[in-house]
A and B are shown apart, each in its own frame.
Chain A
Amino acid sequence: MKSKRALLITLLILVAMVLPSAAVFSQDETVELRMAWWGSQTRHDKTIAVIELYETLNPNVDIVYEPSGWDDHWTKLATQAAGGDLPDIIQHDYQRIREWVANDLLLPLDEFIESGVIDTTNIADASLAGGIVDGKLYGFNLGNNSETFVIDVDALEAAGVELPPVDWTWADFEEMALKLAASGVYAAGGNLHFSEHWKGLYISCCDSYAYNAEGNGLGYTEEEDQYFVDYLNMLLRLQDAGAIPTLEETTANANTSVEDSYIVTGQAAIEYGWSNMIVAIWTAAGEDRNFIEWTVPRVVDGLPRNYIKPSMFFAISKDSDKAEEAAKFIDFFTNSIEANEILFAERGVPVSSAVREALSSQLGPAQQEMFDFLGVVEGYNSPIRPPDPAAHADINSNVYLPQVVEPILYGMMSPEEGVKILRDEAELLLSQ
């Protein structure tokens, strides 16, 4: 008897534990959307504010959000993808979207544009092109961006250096960097060895890219290896001259936030990054500073290195059973002026011309500079390259940095040798 009762009680407790979660499913009418993005605290705050605004306007929609940093975002998404439990709306990236589409994880958005759920009347086709994979639109552009050198105008003046021409070259940069070093500031914050420079170099020198269009091999010939060798030699010269931080210094500083970055602290006069970054830099540095966004140098006699890129996308997961509701939110996020007054171009220059116009009168100096710079780039740009192949993440973190660029900049390997290793190992990974 006794044991029977114990059994009964245990079962009752178990049922009681399961019940509350079951009750949630029985409620209807409310649509629950899940949404995930990466970003800084500023982006989290702004995005959450827009979500709350949307929920007030659409009381039947409840948006559950999962903000994180870049690394965690992708780790979490991968596990969710494996478990078939992806959020409805996913903030996505140009470098990764190709792989996600290839693995059939995302939903094409074309039908929502045809049916008018997402209104694109104020959006130029060029702004949407970046999100097209295999002829279908998978990623909806949240803002336009371009690579940039953020320049501290006052530091240049103090060093007696003039602003370079818009079509400046790496040779111009080297000359300027040595002058800046003489006045006691670095000419870069410490990320000139990133793989973006390897990839961009081949736009500029050879009208190509690090990877070929099919994504199954490198996009440059063995003779053209020399361009990257030259670039690495330049970095070595600048490192020796004290014009850019050594890799030792950069590695030790790997954790620094925007507030401690060299351009903000005044230790460097130039910082490489994406154009929306200026908002964070200027906010951290204070209003009394003066920054300007400039094109990234090109190879001598080369083509423009800059191109206009979607800063990030919204995508809808393939498994979402509320895709239309998700699309409605994307429309709101893109076209609502009220929402964009909150977001305030933090994800890059808004793609909707109506939104840009509405914001133009309220822009602060940082946003104004970003808007202006994108205008400049339109006159000096190269076409956007296809998204990176799926193997890029692997090549970058397991080959490019640890086996090539780092040994070279630590002086343990010659650029010639490193560039050859890069070719062999990258080709191997790309062919798989």
Chain B
Amino acid sequence: MGDAIIKFPTRQPKKSRFGRNNIVGYLFISPWLIAFILFGLIPMVVSFGLAFTNYHILRGWDFIGLDNFHRMFYEDRRYWNSVRATVKYVIIAVPLRLVFALAVAMLLNTKRRGVAFYRAAFYAPSVVGGSIAVAVMWREIFAREGLVNYLIGQFGQESIWWLGHPDYAIWTLILLAAWQFGSPMLIFLAGLKQIPGQLYESASIDGANGIQKFFRITFPLLTPVVFFNLVMQLIAGFMTFTQAFIITNGSGRPLDTTLFYALYLYKRGFETYEMGYASAMAWVMLVVVALLTAIVFATSARWVYYESQEGK
């Protein structure tokens, strides 16, 4: 039966993988392939090698074994400042963003008129979210004469130097993250649409209220989407760079409270030119994020509900 469908083997039996037909294929994907090898694969391999050197852009390099990692974990105080700032940010900003995203997705999951417009409008901040312009705008909102100080001024409060205060500065970044809930929101929305309406109908007949419906129907059926969003946002959270780079002028100030890991890595690589050290930092980050993702995956069996497993 297979012979009838697949004709190629009769003409080219077990020819090498790089047979004539395939060359054309590889040529067609060559733009992507070349770019991937040049800008993806090679830099990764090189950066892995550099992690074990003291490569300084101007001074050259020597192989130094694990010294970079020793320095990172035992000598570099700013490294730990950056870890603290990043962990704090991820722990607060990621759940906050997911809660916002889910709440807005539920609001938009109705059949009201003009809901398509609102969906687009709520998604917009995320489209422009990674951009410089939004970060600049955010900086102005929290400036001395910005919107926030104006609002609290209406209630007779003293103005606050939001971006200069060691306790408050990171909250401006957390709020920015929460506001940029668009992409998880869209995925939640798609997930909500998959939930069969008759489940809600029968629950209503049984006298369930809104909260019960949410916790007994919506959330359990949405867990695969929650899981996906959680993993994606966790990874994105650890890699946050642009917002901090623009809003705090790339300084990590005040007192390193906004010195995100990616920002510190950039500063080591491009400000003091310590590419070896920066590469080592990048690989530690990769391992940590991979481990966290693995942990989330491992726990997923306990709380993520897949409909297809129902009969299991």
Contact = CB atoms under 8 A, between A and B. Distances in A.
A3 B22 CA distance: 10
Interface residues of A, number: 35
Nearest to B136: A255
B282 to A, nearest CB: 17
Given A99-B58, A247-B164, A251-B164, A397 B256 contact: no
B7 interface: no
A78 interface: yes
B21 A75 contact: no
A254 B251 contact: yes
Interface string A241-274: 0000011111111110000000000000000000
A19 interface: no
A105 B58 contact: yes
Nearest to B275: A82
A410 interface: yes
B23 A3 contact: yes
A79 interface: yes
A3 B250 CA distance: 53
B131 interface: no
A252 B58 contact: no
Contacts of A10: 24, 27-28
Interface in A164-221: none
Given A3-B21, A78-B270, A407 B58 contact: no
A103 B60 CA distance: 9
Contacts of B57: 78-79, 81-82
Contacts of B60: 103
Contacts of B165: 248, 252
Given A251-B253, A406-B253, A397 B272 contact: yes
A387 B251 CA distance: 25
A7 B27 contact: yes
A406 B248 CA distance: 15
Contacts of B59: 103
Given A3-B21, A71-B271, A248-B161, A253 B144 contact: yes
B24 A406 contact: no
A252 B144 contact: yes
B24 A7 contact: yes
Contacts of A402: 78, 81, 252-253, 255-256, 259
B249 A406 contact: no
B77 interface: yes
B53 to A, nearest CB: 13
Contacts of A82: 57-58
Nearest to A395: B272
B123 interface: no
B30 to A, nearest CB: 8
Interface string A67-86: 00001001100110110000
B271 A393 contact: yes
B272 A398 contact: yes
Interface in B16-74: 20-21, 23-24, 27-28, 57-60
A198 B51 CA distance: 34
B139 interface: yes
Contact of A410 (B139, B144, B255): B255
Contacts of A3: 20-21, 23-24
A105 B60 CA distance: 12
A10 B25 CA distance: 11
A38 to B, nearest CB: 14
A254 B253 contact: yes
Given A75-B270, A252-B162, A81 B58 contact: yes
A255 B58 contact: no
Given A78-B57, A103-B59, A402-B78, A251 B161 contact: yes
Contacts of B166: 410
A146 B134 CA distance: 39
Interface in A1-34: 3, 6-7, 10
B161 A252 contact: yes
User: Among the interface residues B24, B164, B270, which one has the most CB atoms of the partner chain A within 10 A?
Assistant: B164
Interface string B228-266: 000000000000000000001111111110010000000
Given A3-B24, A7-B27, A248-B254, 10 more contacts: A3-B20, A105-B58, A246-B161, A248-B164, A251-B251, A252-B165, A254-B251, A393-B271, A397-B271, A403-B78
Q: A-B pairs with the 6 shortest C-beta distances?
A: A252-B164, A251-B164, A248-B164, A252-B161, A252-B163, A78-B57
Interface of B: 20-21, 23-24, 27-28, 57-60, 77-78, 81, 139, 143-144, 161-166, 248-256, 259, 267, 270-273
8 contacts: A99-B58, A103-B60, A251-B161, A252-B143, A254-B248, A254-B249, A393-B271, A403-B77
